[in-house]
Amino acid sequence: MRQELPAWLGGFFTSGPSSDPQNKETAWRVVDNGEGANNPPDQASGLLFGPNVRAAERCATTPNGPPLVTLPPRGNIQVRP
């Protein structure tokens, strides 16, 4: 059984309804729980965006939260250390 591998991903909206200046940055958290029948499903948070989201800061500091949800059985996140 593989140890869980968490990661933060961040980026910028460049078009669409969330591309105005106050909502440009976005971030979300994922956890790779390994593969195989003996490992729990991978997890991901909802997408965070808004004036208080600092994508680079979240990626650098890797805070806990927001809450994670379990991905469907076919979901497969792969975090490479």
pTM: 0.79
Q: Per-domain residue ranges for the chain?
A: 5-65
SS (H, E, C) 63-81: CCCCCEEECCCCCCCCCCC
CB 71 within 8 A of CB 44: yes
Write the pLDDT tens digit of every residue in 30-74. 999 988 878 888 999 998 887 788 889 988 998 888 889 998 877
Of 2, 4, 17, 9, residue with least CA distance to 46: 9
- Residue 23: per-residue pLDDT: 67
Backbone angles phi and psi of 45, in degrees to 5: -90, 170
